[in-house]
């Protein structure tokens, strides 16, 4: 079981120590910033856990810098809240978590380059085995170091990406079980299109055939996972699956309505804000920004926001999305540029001032711009938008439990 860092005997940090490491910032000096509500993250995790039957394990996916939320602060709070395993994309992400605290299993979902193999033992990581070429590499390293390497074996049941193709997986499984230096800890697959129920069922049945062909003694101790929050439609008592991978749901992005988790009232964890840099009046018929994609039909007050696609505002949301100022909605006009975004403030109060907070994702008053709505306006998906929040945008964390 994961260790409690508050009572750890091997040097893990306490909650107070973890909180001190979080990025602190004075928003008065920031042009734009992302606020991360770690208390909401914890509430989401507890809500999701309550919906899972025991002994279903919680695999927390925190790849891509925890979907733009910041891997260290979010992983620290998730540790305090109690996850069973962290899943990351690569060695760098895994090392960041391991250097912060020991005791939590960490699964590297992506394939390793050969020069990265030694990190599996250095950081006590679990590798995802996807091909026969990886097995002798891992075995040779383990034999040299006189240690076992832990793996989850990935089956390609129809995604066409990582994993041993399901019809050819038997030979790799046999080789893995015969390799003493390798410890098989899990079996996983990845669903290509959870909204396509028929194809997902086909993938599930292919995967189950592979699982059922394993020796009974091997199956007993495996972590078996395929579902994420989108694909989990029910929790059958006789299911082979004993773990669920949770990514965006823990950060407050609800899955499709068919999902078991779609009714959970998760809270958005991230909000994005900027500031009003300039207010200017332009005459009717003036065209705005690159490409002249918006023409003013009247004399118009234009506000320039101190952020663009070089921060977090999607390039293609111009003339579609809104911004919130003083709890009111104002349309984004013209093409979004790298460093600035234009809004139509003609109907705003006369006393609106430079320096006021502009919200692009999140709440102001009784108004809210949802991440999913901004993604829709920008013809993208929420997780791409989150991962597009650049390094020049400070993350400001709130940590108080409610």
Around Cβ 98, how many Cβ atoms within 10 Å? 20
CB 246 within 8 A of CB 49: no
- Cα 35 to Cα 7, 27, 47, 398: the distances in Å are 29, 10, 21, 8
Residue 27, judged by CB atoms within 10 A of its CB (0-12, 13-18, 19+), counts as: middle
Is 63 one of the annotated active-site residues of the chain?
Answer: yes
- For residue 324, what are its two tokens? 């919130």
Coil, strand or helix at 280: strand
Question: Of 57, 58, 63, 154, which one is the catalytic site residue?
Answer: 63
Is 92 one of the annotated active-site residues of the chain?
Answer: no
Q: Which residues contact 238 (CB under 8 A, 6 or more apart)?
A: none
What does 22-49 look like in DSSP terms, one character per residue?
S----GGG-SEEEEEEHHHHHHHHHHHH
Q: Which residues contact 271 (CB under 8 A, 6 or more apart)?
A: 34, 35, 37, 359, 361, 362, 363
Around Cβ 242, how many Cβ atoms within 10 Å? 14
> Is the peptide bond prior to 208 cis by the omega test (within 30 degrees of 0)?
no
Active site residues per annotation? 63, 290
């Amino acid at each position: 079981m994961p260790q409690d860092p508050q009572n750890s005997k091997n040097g893990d940090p306490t909650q107070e120590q973890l909180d001190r490491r979080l990025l602190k910032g004075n928003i008065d000096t920031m042009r734009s910033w992302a606020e991360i509500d770690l208390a909401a993250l914890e509430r989401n995790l507890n809500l999701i856990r309550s919906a899972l039957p025991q002994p279903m394990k919680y695999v927390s996916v925190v790849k891509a810098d925890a979907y733009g939320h910041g891997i260290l602060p979010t992983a620290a709070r998730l540790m305090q809240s109690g996850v069973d395993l962290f899943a990351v994309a690569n060695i760098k992400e895994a090392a960041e978590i391991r250097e912060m605290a020991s005791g939590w299993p960490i699964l590297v979902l992506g394939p390793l380059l050969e020069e990265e193999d030694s990190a599996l033992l250095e950081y006590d990581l679990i590798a995802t085995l996807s091909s026969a070429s990886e097995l002798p590499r891992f075995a040779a390293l383990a034999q040299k170091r006189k240690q076992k390497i832990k793996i989850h074996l990935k089956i390609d049941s129809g995604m066409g990406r990582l994993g041993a193709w399901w019809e050819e997986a038997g030979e790799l499984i046999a080789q893995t079980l015969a390799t003493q230096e390798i410890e098989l800890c899990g079996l996983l697959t990845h669903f290509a299109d959870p909204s396509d129920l028929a194809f997902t069922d086909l993938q599930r049945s292919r995967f189950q055939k592979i699982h059922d062909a394993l020796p009974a003694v091997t199956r007993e101790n495996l972590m078996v996972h395929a579902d994420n929050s989108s694909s989990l439609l029910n929790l059958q008592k006789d299911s082979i699956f004993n773990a669920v991978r949770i990514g965006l749901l823990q950060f407050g992005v609800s899955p499709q309505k068919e999902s078991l988790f779609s009714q959970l009232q998760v809270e958005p964890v991230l909000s994005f804000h900027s500031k009003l840099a300039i207010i200017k009046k332009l005459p009717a018929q003036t065209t705005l920004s690159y490409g002249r994609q918006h023409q003013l039909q009247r004399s118009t007050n234009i506000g320039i926001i101190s952020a663009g696609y070089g921060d977090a505002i999607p390039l293609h949301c111009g003339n579609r999305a809104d911004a919130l100022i003083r709890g009111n909605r104002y349309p984004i006009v013209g093409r979004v540029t790298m460093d600035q975004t234009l809004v139509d403030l003609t109907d705003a109060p006369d006393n609106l001032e430079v320096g006021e907070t502009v919200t692009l994702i999140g709440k102001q008053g009784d108004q809210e711009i949802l991440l999913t709505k901004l993604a829709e306006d920008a013809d993208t998906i929420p997780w791409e938008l989150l991962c597009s929040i650049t390094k020049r945008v400070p993350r400001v964390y709130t940590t108080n439990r409610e």
